[in-house]
Structure 1
Amino acid sequence: MEDTTKLNTSKLGTKKYWDDFYSLERGNFKENPEDTGECWFNDNDAEQRMVDFVTENLAEFDNKESKVIDLGTGNGHLLFALCEDDFAATMLGVDYSEESVRFAKEIAASKEYDVSFAQADIFDASWNPGEFDIVLDKGTLDAIALSGLTVGENKRPVVEVYHTVIEKILKKNGVFLITSCNFTQEELTKIVQSEHLEVWETIKYPVFEFGGVKGSTICSIAFVKK
Protein backbone atom coordinates (compact mmCIF):
# COMPACT_ATOMS: atom_id res chain seq x y z
CA MET A 1 0.00 0.00 0.00
CA GLU A 2 1.26 3.49 -0.88
CA ASP A 3 2.55 5.57 2.03
CA THR A 4 0.36 8.68 1.82
CA THR A 5 2.43 10.53 4.43
CA LYS A 6 5.21 11.07 1.85
CA LEU A 7 4.84 14.24 -0.23
CA ASN A 8 6.69 15.44 -3.32
CA THR A 9 9.43 18.00 -2.70
CA SER A 10 8.70 21.67 -3.35
CA LYS A 11 10.39 25.06 -3.07
CA LEU A 12 8.03 25.63 -0.12
CA GLY A 13 10.28 23.25 1.81
CA THR A 14 13.49 25.21 1.19
CA LYS A 15 15.15 27.67 3.53
CA LYS A 16 15.85 30.05 0.63
CA TYR A 17 12.17 30.31 -0.20
CA TRP A 18 11.30 31.36 3.36
CA ASP A 19 14.28 33.71 3.71
CA ASP A 20 13.18 35.46 0.51
CA PHE A 21 9.55 35.44 1.58
CA TYR A 22 10.18 37.00 4.98
CA SER A 23 12.70 39.46 3.57
CA LEU A 24 9.89 40.78 1.39
CA GLU A 25 7.47 40.85 4.32
CA ARG A 26 10.02 42.76 6.42
CA GLY A 27 10.25 45.34 3.66
CA ASN A 28 6.47 45.70 3.57
CA PHE A 29 6.41 46.08 7.36
CA LYS A 30 9.00 48.86 7.29
CA GLU A 31 6.83 50.78 4.83
CA ASN A 32 3.62 50.03 6.71
CA PRO A 33 3.89 49.06 10.42
CA GLU A 34 0.32 47.74 10.30
CA ASP A 35 1.31 45.12 7.74
CA THR A 36 2.46 42.27 9.99
CA GLY A 37 2.44 39.69 7.23
CA GLU A 38 0.57 36.58 6.22
CA CYS A 39 -1.70 34.77 8.68
CA TRP A 40 -1.46 31.17 7.53
CA PHE A 41 -4.68 29.14 7.35
CA ASN A 42 -6.70 32.29 7.97
CA ASP A 43 -9.36 31.11 5.51
CA ASN A 44 -10.10 28.20 7.85
CA ASP A 45 -9.95 30.33 11.01
CA ALA A 46 -7.35 27.78 12.18
CA GLU A 47 -5.21 30.21 14.14
CA GLN A 48 -8.10 31.46 16.24
CA ARG A 49 -9.29 27.89 16.76
CA MET A 50 -5.83 26.95 18.03
CA VAL A 51 -5.78 29.97 20.34
CA ASP A 52 -9.26 29.15 21.63
CA PHE A 53 -8.22 25.54 22.23
CA VAL A 54 -5.19 26.62 24.26
CA THR A 55 -7.00 29.21 26.35
CA GLU A 56 -10.05 27.02 26.98
CA ASN A 57 -8.38 23.64 27.52
CA LEU A 58 -4.92 24.50 28.85
CA ALA A 59 -5.69 27.18 31.41
CA GLU A 60 -3.36 25.43 33.87
CA PHE A 61 -0.46 26.80 31.81
CA ASP A 62 -1.74 30.39 31.80
CA ASN A 63 1.13 31.72 33.92
CA LYS A 64 4.73 32.88 33.53
CA GLU A 65 6.08 29.68 35.07
CA SER A 66 4.74 27.71 32.09
CA LYS A 67 6.53 27.65 28.74
CA VAL A 68 5.20 27.59 25.18
CA ILE A 69 7.25 27.05 22.02
CA ASP A 70 6.05 27.60 18.46
CA LEU A 71 7.97 25.51 15.90
CA GLY A 72 8.40 27.21 12.54
CA THR A 73 6.98 30.40 13.97
CA GLY A 74 7.32 32.47 10.79
CA ASN A 75 6.15 36.00 11.60
CA GLY A 76 5.15 34.96 15.12
CA HIS A 77 1.47 35.57 14.41
CA LEU A 78 0.21 32.58 16.42
CA LEU A 79 2.11 33.60 19.55
CA PHE A 80 1.03 37.21 19.15
CA ALA A 81 -2.58 36.03 18.94
CA LEU A 82 -2.09 34.24 22.28
CA CYS A 83 -0.72 37.49 23.70
CA GLU A 84 -3.77 39.36 22.43
CA ASP A 85 -5.89 36.80 24.27
CA ASP A 86 -3.88 37.56 27.44
CA PHE A 87 -2.36 34.08 27.70
CA ALA A 88 0.44 34.66 30.19
CA ALA A 89 2.87 31.77 29.59
CA THR A 90 6.49 32.45 28.68
CA MET A 91 6.62 32.16 24.89
CA LEU A 92 9.38 31.30 22.43
CA GLY A 93 9.11 31.11 18.65
CA VAL A 94 11.79 29.32 16.61
CA ASP A 95 12.36 29.14 12.87
CA TYR A 96 15.21 28.07 10.63
CA SER A 97 14.81 31.23 8.55
CA GLU A 98 16.89 34.08 9.94
CA GLU A 99 14.71 36.56 8.06
CA SER A 100 11.61 35.16 9.73
CA VAL A 101 13.16 35.58 13.16
CA ARG A 102 14.25 39.15 12.41
CA PHE A 103 10.75 39.97 11.20
CA ALA A 104 9.03 38.43 14.25
CA LYS A 105 11.39 40.31 16.59
CA GLU A 106 10.64 43.59 14.83
CA ILE A 107 6.89 43.05 15.16
CA ALA A 108 7.21 42.08 18.83
CA ALA A 109 9.24 45.20 19.59
CA SER A 110 6.85 47.51 17.74
CA LYS A 111 3.75 46.02 19.36
CA GLU A 112 5.42 45.48 22.76
CA TYR A 113 4.62 41.77 22.84
CA ASP A 114 6.51 39.84 25.51
CA VAL A 115 7.65 37.03 23.20
CA SER A 116 11.16 35.75 22.40
CA PHE A 117 12.39 34.44 19.05
CA ALA A 118 15.43 32.45 17.96
CA GLN A 119 16.81 30.86 14.82
CA ALA A 120 17.11 27.08 15.13
CA ASP A 121 17.44 23.85 13.21
CA ILE A 122 15.14 21.65 15.24
CA PHE A 123 16.69 18.50 13.73
CA ASP A 124 20.20 19.41 14.87
CA ALA A 125 21.11 17.02 17.68
CA SER A 126 22.84 19.85 19.52
CA TRP A 127 19.65 21.95 19.65
CA ASN A 128 18.46 21.81 23.23
CA PRO A 129 16.04 24.60 24.19
CA GLY A 130 14.79 22.81 27.29
CA GLU A 131 11.32 21.41 27.93
CA PHE A 132 7.97 23.09 27.31
CA ASP A 133 4.44 22.67 28.60
CA ILE A 134 2.93 23.42 25.19
CA VAL A 135 4.46 22.86 21.76
CA LEU A 136 2.71 24.41 18.75
CA ASP A 137 2.95 23.72 15.03
CA LYS A 138 0.78 25.59 12.53
CA GLY A 139 1.74 24.31 9.09
CA THR A 140 5.39 23.70 9.90
CA LEU A 141 5.29 19.94 9.43
CA ASP A 142 3.57 20.63 6.11
CA ALA A 143 6.58 22.65 4.95
CA ILE A 144 9.07 20.19 6.44
CA ALA A 145 7.44 17.35 4.52
CA LEU A 146 8.11 19.20 1.25
CA SER A 147 11.83 19.67 1.95
CA GLY A 148 13.08 16.21 1.02
CA LEU A 149 15.67 16.55 3.78
CA THR A 150 17.08 13.61 5.71
CA VAL A 151 18.85 13.42 9.07
CA GLY A 152 21.28 11.15 10.86
CA GLU A 153 23.66 8.50 9.64
CA ASN A 154 20.72 6.44 8.36
CA LYS A 155 19.45 9.39 6.27
CA ARG A 156 15.92 9.12 7.59
CA PRO A 157 13.36 11.55 6.13
CA VAL A 158 12.70 14.40 8.56
CA VAL A 159 9.01 13.51 8.71
CA GLU A 160 9.88 10.10 10.14
CA VAL A 161 11.86 11.60 13.03
CA TYR A 162 9.63 14.61 13.68
CA HIS A 163 7.93 12.94 16.63
CA THR A 164 11.32 12.51 18.35
CA VAL A 165 11.81 16.29 18.27
CA ILE A 166 8.48 16.76 20.02
CA GLU A 167 9.29 14.07 22.60
CA LYS A 168 12.62 15.78 23.30
CA ILE A 169 11.18 19.22 24.11
CA LEU A 170 7.74 18.42 25.53
CA LYS A 171 7.34 17.95 29.26
CA LYS A 172 5.56 14.92 30.64
CA ASN A 173 1.80 15.58 30.53
CA GLY A 174 2.52 18.51 28.21
CA VAL A 175 0.49 19.09 25.05
CA PHE A 176 1.55 19.22 21.41
CA LEU A 177 -1.01 21.01 19.22
CA ILE A 178 -0.49 20.72 15.47
CA THR A 179 -2.46 21.97 12.48
CA SER A 180 -1.98 20.64 8.95
CA CYS A 181 -3.51 21.18 5.52
CA ASN A 182 -1.38 18.54 3.76
CA PHE A 183 -2.18 15.55 5.94
CA THR A 184 -5.45 13.99 6.98
CA GLN A 185 -6.19 13.32 10.64
CA GLU A 186 -5.27 9.67 10.13
CA GLU A 187 -1.99 10.50 8.38
CA LEU A 188 -1.04 13.09 11.00
CA THR A 189 -1.73 10.60 13.77
CA LYS A 190 0.47 8.04 12.03
CA ILE A 191 3.34 10.54 11.80
CA VAL A 192 3.21 11.90 15.35
CA GLN A 193 1.78 9.20 17.60
CA SER A 194 4.42 7.13 19.35
CA GLU A 195 5.14 5.26 22.54
CA HIS A 196 5.22 8.58 24.38
CA LEU A 197 2.76 10.71 22.38
CA GLU A 198 -0.92 9.87 22.13
CA VAL A 199 -3.93 11.64 20.68
CA TRP A 200 -5.84 13.65 23.27
CA GLU A 201 -8.30 15.92 21.44
CA THR A 202 -9.06 17.27 17.97
CA ILE A 203 -10.34 20.61 16.76
CA LYS A 204 -13.51 20.50 14.70
CA TYR A 205 -13.66 22.16 11.27
CA PRO A 206 -16.45 22.40 8.69
CA VAL A 207 -16.82 19.17 6.71
CA PHE A 208 -17.38 19.07 2.96
CA GLU A 209 -18.81 16.23 0.91
CA PHE A 210 -17.69 15.36 -2.61
CA GLY A 211 -18.58 12.21 -4.52
CA GLY A 212 -20.12 10.72 -1.43
CA VAL A 213 -16.91 11.15 0.57
CA LYS A 214 -16.82 13.48 3.56
CA GLY A 215 -13.70 15.31 4.68
CA SER A 216 -12.05 18.57 5.70
CA THR A 217 -9.33 20.65 4.08
CA ILE A 218 -7.53 21.05 7.40
CA CYS A 219 -7.05 19.23 10.68
CA SER A 220 -5.74 20.03 14.15
CA ILE A 221 -4.78 17.42 16.71
CA ALA A 222 -3.64 17.76 20.31
CA PHE A 223 -1.27 15.06 21.56
CA VAL A 224 -0.28 14.53 25.18
CA LYS A 225 3.07 13.19 26.32
CA LYS A 226 2.86 10.22 28.65
Structure 2
Amino acid sequence: MQDTADLSTSKLGTKKYWDELYALELENFRRNPQDTGDCWFSDSDAEQKMIDFLVDNIGAYRITEDASVVDLGTGNGHLLFELHETEFQGKLVGIDYSEESVKLATNIAEATGVEDFISFQQADIFNSGWNPGKFDVVLDKGTLDAISLSGMKINGKLDVVDVYAEVVEKILRKDGIFLITSCNFTQDELIEIMQTEKLKPWKAIKYPVFQFGGVQGATICSIAFVKQD
Protein backbone atom coordinates (compact mmCIF):
# COMPACT_ATOMS: atom_id res chain seq x y z
CA MET A 1 0.00 0.00 0.00
CA GLN A 2 0.99 3.64 -0.41
CA ASP A 3 3.07 4.84 2.53
CA THR A 4 1.27 7.99 3.65
CA ALA A 5 3.60 8.71 6.53
CA ASP A 6 5.30 11.40 4.48
CA LEU A 7 2.01 13.16 3.68
CA SER A 8 1.63 16.16 5.96
CA THR A 9 -1.65 16.61 7.77
CA SER A 10 -3.60 19.67 6.71
CA LYS A 11 -6.77 21.57 7.53
CA LEU A 12 -8.00 20.29 4.16
CA GLY A 13 -8.34 16.91 5.85
CA THR A 14 -10.51 18.13 8.71
CA LYS A 15 -14.30 18.06 8.94
CA LYS A 16 -14.23 21.46 10.63
CA TYR A 17 -12.62 23.05 7.57
CA TRP A 18 -15.23 21.64 5.18
CA ASP A 19 -18.16 22.41 7.44
CA GLU A 20 -17.06 26.04 7.65
CA LEU A 21 -16.39 26.26 3.90
CA TYR A 22 -19.75 24.82 2.88
CA ALA A 23 -21.62 26.85 5.48
CA LEU A 24 -20.15 29.95 3.84
CA GLU A 25 -20.98 28.68 0.35
CA LEU A 26 -24.55 27.92 1.48
CA GLU A 27 -24.91 31.46 2.78
CA ASN A 28 -23.55 32.80 -0.52
CA PHE A 29 -25.97 30.60 -2.47
CA ARG A 30 -28.96 31.80 -0.49
CA ARG A 31 -27.96 35.38 -1.25
CA ASN A 32 -27.20 34.63 -4.89
CA PRO A 33 -28.64 31.40 -6.38
CA GLN A 34 -26.20 31.70 -9.27
CA ASP A 35 -23.30 31.17 -6.87
CA THR A 36 -23.11 27.40 -6.35
CA GLY A 37 -19.53 27.34 -5.06
CA ASP A 38 -16.19 26.28 -6.46
CA CYS A 39 -15.57 23.38 -8.82
CA TRP A 40 -12.49 21.37 -7.86
CA PHE A 41 -9.84 20.89 -10.57
CA SER A 42 -11.60 23.32 -12.90
CA ASP A 43 -8.24 24.57 -14.16
CA SER A 44 -7.49 21.11 -15.58
CA ASP A 45 -11.08 20.51 -16.76
CA ALA A 46 -10.97 17.23 -14.81
CA GLU A 47 -14.69 17.17 -14.04
CA GLN A 48 -15.66 17.41 -17.69
CA LYS A 49 -13.04 14.82 -18.60
CA MET A 50 -14.54 12.42 -16.07
CA ILE A 51 -18.02 12.96 -17.51
CA ASP A 52 -16.75 12.60 -21.08
CA PHE A 53 -14.99 9.38 -20.08
CA LEU A 54 -18.22 7.89 -18.76
CA VAL A 55 -20.21 9.02 -21.81
CA ASP A 56 -17.57 7.65 -24.20
CA ASN A 57 -17.61 4.30 -22.42
CA ILE A 58 -21.37 3.77 -22.23
CA GLY A 59 -21.94 0.08 -22.89
CA ALA A 60 -18.74 -1.03 -21.19
CA TYR A 61 -19.21 -3.06 -18.03
CA ARG A 62 -21.97 -1.39 -15.95
CA ILE A 63 -21.70 2.04 -17.56
CA THR A 64 -25.19 2.59 -18.97
CA GLU A 65 -27.58 5.53 -19.28
CA ASP A 66 -29.54 4.28 -16.27
CA ALA A 67 -26.51 3.29 -14.18
CA SER A 68 -26.67 4.04 -10.47
CA VAL A 69 -23.88 6.44 -9.52
CA VAL A 70 -22.50 7.51 -6.13
CA ASP A 71 -20.09 10.41 -5.68
CA LEU A 72 -17.90 10.04 -2.58
CA GLY A 73 -17.06 13.39 -1.02
CA THR A 74 -19.57 15.16 -3.21
CA GLY A 75 -19.07 18.69 -1.82
CA ASN A 76 -21.50 21.01 -3.58
CA GLY A 77 -22.66 18.18 -5.84
CA HIS A 78 -21.42 19.90 -9.00
CA LEU A 79 -20.13 16.69 -10.59
CA LEU A 80 -23.51 14.98 -10.22
CA PHE A 81 -25.44 18.00 -11.46
CA GLU A 82 -23.29 18.11 -14.58
CA LEU A 83 -23.55 14.33 -15.05
CA HIS A 84 -27.35 14.57 -14.88
CA GLU A 85 -27.26 17.00 -17.81
CA THR A 86 -25.78 14.24 -20.02
CA GLU A 87 -27.13 10.84 -21.02
CA PHE A 88 -27.04 9.60 -17.43
CA GLN A 89 -30.54 9.48 -15.99
CA GLY A 90 -30.18 6.74 -13.36
CA LYS A 91 -30.01 7.01 -9.58
CA LEU A 92 -27.44 9.66 -8.60
CA VAL A 93 -26.34 9.91 -4.96
CA GLY A 94 -23.83 12.25 -3.34
CA ILE A 95 -22.16 11.30 -0.05
CA ASP A 96 -20.24 13.65 2.22
CA TYR A 97 -19.26 13.68 5.88
CA SER A 98 -19.94 17.41 6.09
CA GLU A 99 -23.52 18.21 7.06
CA GLU A 100 -23.08 21.67 5.54
CA SER A 101 -22.04 20.13 2.23
CA VAL A 102 -25.23 18.07 2.16
CA LYS A 103 -27.33 21.13 3.02
CA LEU A 104 -25.73 23.13 0.22
CA ALA A 105 -26.04 20.40 -2.42
CA THR A 106 -29.64 19.65 -1.40
CA ASN A 107 -30.56 23.33 -1.61
CA ILE A 108 -29.05 23.55 -5.09
CA ALA A 109 -30.92 20.41 -6.19
CA GLU A 110 -34.23 21.82 -4.95
CA ALA A 111 -33.59 25.22 -6.52
CA THR A 112 -32.81 23.65 -9.89
CA GLY A 113 -35.67 21.15 -9.76
CA VAL A 114 -33.59 17.97 -9.84
CA GLU A 115 -34.24 16.76 -6.29
CA ASP A 116 -36.22 13.79 -7.68
CA PHE A 117 -33.15 12.62 -9.60
CA ILE A 118 -30.21 13.48 -7.34
CA SER A 119 -30.08 12.94 -3.58
CA PHE A 120 -27.46 13.75 -0.97
CA GLN A 121 -26.61 12.02 2.29
CA GLN A 122 -24.31 12.78 5.20
CA ALA A 123 -22.23 9.78 6.23
CA ASP A 124 -18.91 8.59 7.59
CA ILE A 125 -17.88 6.14 4.88
CA PHE A 126 -15.37 4.52 7.24
CA ASN A 127 -18.06 3.57 9.75
CA SER A 128 -18.44 -0.21 9.56
CA GLY A 129 -22.21 0.20 9.88
CA TRP A 130 -22.48 2.42 6.81
CA ASN A 131 -24.35 0.49 4.12
CA PRO A 132 -25.83 2.61 1.30
CA GLY A 133 -26.31 -0.38 -0.99
CA LYS A 134 -24.38 -1.15 -4.17
CA PHE A 135 -23.83 1.06 -7.20
CA ASP A 136 -22.80 0.61 -10.82
CA VAL A 137 -20.38 3.54 -10.77
CA VAL A 138 -18.45 5.10 -7.88
CA LEU A 139 -16.82 8.52 -8.35
CA ASP A 140 -14.07 10.32 -6.45
CA LYS A 141 -12.90 13.80 -7.44
CA GLY A 142 -10.29 14.83 -4.90
CA THR A 143 -11.79 12.97 -1.95
CA LEU A 144 -8.90 10.56 -1.45
CA ASP A 145 -6.62 13.60 -1.69
CA ALA A 146 -8.44 15.29 1.19
CA ILE A 147 -8.76 12.31 3.49
CA SER A 148 -5.10 11.43 3.00
CA LEU A 149 -4.29 14.72 4.74
CA SER A 150 -6.54 14.04 7.72
CA GLY A 151 -4.17 11.90 9.76
CA MET A 152 -7.19 9.79 10.72
CA LYS A 153 -6.71 6.19 11.83
CA ILE A 154 -9.22 3.34 11.70
CA ASN A 155 -9.38 1.43 14.98
CA GLY A 156 -6.47 3.53 16.09
CA LYS A 157 -3.97 1.92 13.74
CA LEU A 158 -4.95 1.72 10.07
CA ASP A 159 -4.53 4.80 7.92
CA VAL A 160 -7.75 5.76 6.11
CA VAL A 161 -5.93 5.51 2.77
CA ASP A 162 -5.14 1.86 3.48
CA VAL A 163 -8.83 0.94 3.88
CA TYR A 164 -10.26 3.17 1.15
CA ALA A 165 -10.25 0.37 -1.43
CA GLU A 166 -12.34 -1.78 0.94
CA VAL A 167 -14.91 1.01 1.20
CA VAL A 168 -15.16 1.26 -2.59
CA GLU A 169 -15.37 -2.51 -3.03
CA LYS A 170 -18.21 -2.73 -0.50
CA ILE A 171 -20.49 -0.40 -2.45
CA LEU A 172 -19.50 -1.36 -6.01
CA ARG A 173 -21.38 -4.04 -7.94
CA LYS A 174 -19.54 -6.75 -9.86
CA ASP A 175 -18.38 -5.27 -13.19
CA GLY A 176 -18.92 -1.82 -11.69
CA ILE A 177 -16.53 1.06 -12.34
CA PHE A 178 -14.64 3.22 -9.85
CA LEU A 179 -13.37 6.45 -11.43
CA ILE A 180 -10.99 8.54 -9.34
CA THR A 181 -9.21 11.85 -9.95
CA SER A 182 -6.26 12.96 -7.83
CA CYS A 183 -3.66 15.70 -7.68
CA ASN A 184 -1.82 14.25 -4.65
CA PHE A 185 -1.08 10.82 -6.07
CA THR A 186 0.44 9.64 -9.33
CA GLN A 187 -1.23 7.04 -11.50
CA ASP A 188 1.15 4.35 -10.21
CA GLU A 189 0.43 5.36 -6.62
CA LEU A 190 -3.34 5.23 -7.18
CA ILE A 191 -3.00 1.74 -8.60
CA GLU A 192 -0.93 0.71 -5.59
CA ILE A 193 -3.54 2.13 -3.22
CA MET A 194 -6.70 0.92 -4.96
CA GLN A 195 -5.79 -2.38 -6.64
CA THR A 196 -7.07 -5.46 -4.81
CA GLU A 197 -7.88 -9.03 -5.77
CA LYS A 198 -11.21 -7.78 -7.14
CA LEU A 199 -10.53 -4.13 -8.01
CA LYS A 200 -8.32 -3.88 -11.10
CA PRO A 201 -7.10 -0.86 -13.13
CA TRP A 202 -8.92 -0.49 -16.44
CA LYS A 203 -8.33 2.81 -18.26
CA ALA A 204 -6.75 6.18 -17.55
CA ILE A 205 -7.76 9.65 -18.72
CA LYS A 206 -5.06 11.53 -20.58
CA TYR A 207 -3.94 14.97 -19.41
CA PRO A 208 -1.28 17.34 -20.75
CA VAL A 209 2.19 16.41 -19.49
CA PHE A 210 5.09 18.62 -18.48
CA GLN A 211 8.79 17.92 -18.51
CA PHE A 212 11.22 19.07 -15.85
CA GLY A 213 14.77 17.86 -15.34
CA GLY A 214 14.28 15.21 -17.99
CA VAL A 215 11.28 13.74 -16.14
CA GLN A 216 7.80 13.82 -17.62
CA GLY A 217 4.68 14.06 -15.50
CA ALA A 218 1.23 15.55 -15.05
CA THR A 219 -0.23 17.68 -12.29
CA ILE A 220 -3.38 15.54 -12.14
CA CYS A 221 -4.44 12.01 -13.00
CA SER A 222 -7.69 10.08 -13.40
CA ILE A 223 -7.93 6.33 -13.56
CA ALA A 224 -10.85 3.89 -13.79
CA PHE A 225 -10.94 0.55 -11.98
CA VAL A 226 -13.32 -2.34 -12.62
CA LYS A 227 -14.57 -4.72 -9.94
CA GLN A 228 -14.04 -8.28 -11.06
CA ASP A 229 -14.93 -11.62 -9.43
What TM-score range do you get, normalising by the shorter chain? over 0.9
In the alignment, is the contact (CA less than 8 A) between 1:4 and 1:187 conserved in 2?
no
- For 1:173, the equivalent position in structure 2 comes to 175
The secondary structure found in structure 1 opposite 2:139 is strand
Counterparts of 2:123 and 2:219, CA distance in 1: 29
Counterpart in 2 of 1:73?
Answer: 74
- Mapping 1:1-226, distance limit 5 Å: 3=3, 6-59=6-59, 61-64=63-66, 66-113=67-114, 114-152=117-155, 155-226=157-228
Distance 1:155 1:87 in 2: 40
**Deviation sequence 1:113-154 (CA, Å, 0-9, x none):** 2200000000000000011000000000000100000113x6
CA 1:98/1:57 → structure 2, altered by over 3 Å: closer, same or farther?
Answer: same
RMSD: 1.4
Q: Offset of 1:174 from its aligned partner?
A: 0.3
Tell me the distance in 2 between the aligned counterparts of 1:3 and 1:98.
Answer: 30
Deviations 1:143-187 (A, max 9, x none): 0100000113x6200000000001100000000000000000111
Secondary structure of 1:178's aligned partner: strand
1:62–1:88 contact (8 Å) kept in structure 2 = no
Residues 7-47 of structure 1: CA distance to partner in whole angstroms, max 9, x if unpaired?
A: 11100000000000000000110111001110000000000
| Partners of 2:95 and 2:123 within 8 A in 1 | yes
Q: Secondary structure at the match of 1:127?
A: coil
Q: Residue 122 of structure 1 aligns to a residue in which SS?
A: coil
Structure 1: tracts of 5 or more residues without a match? none
**Gapped regions of structure 2 (runs ≥ 5):** none
> Which amino acid in 1 is paired with 2:56?
E
Q: Alpha-carbon deviation of 1:61?
A: 3.8
Q: Give the TM-score normalised by the residue count of structure 2.
A: 0.94
Instruction: Supply the AA of the counterpart residue of 1:158.
Output: V
Structure 1 ranges of 4+ moved more than 6 A: none
Percent identical among aligned pairs is 61
Contact kept, 8 Å, 1:131 with 1:169, in 2: the verdict is yes
> Is the Cα contact below 8 Å between 2:8 and 2:149 reproduced in 1?
yes
Distance 1:10-1:3 versus aligned 2 partners, 3 A rule: same
Q: Distance in 2 between matches of 1:111 and 1:61?
A: 25
Q: Which moved more, 1:179-188 or 1:77-86?
A: 77-86
Q: CA deviation at 1:58?
A: 3.0
Q: TM-score, normalised by structure 1?
A: 0.95
CA distance in 1, matches of 2:175, 2:5: 27
Q: Deviations over 1:34-81 (max 9, x none)?
A: 0111000000000000000111113464344x3110000000000001
What is the CA-CA distance between 1:89 and the residue it aligns to? 1.5
One-letter amino acid of the counterpart of residue 134, structure 2? E
Query: Which 10-residue stretch deviates more, 86-95 or 216-225?
Result: 86-95
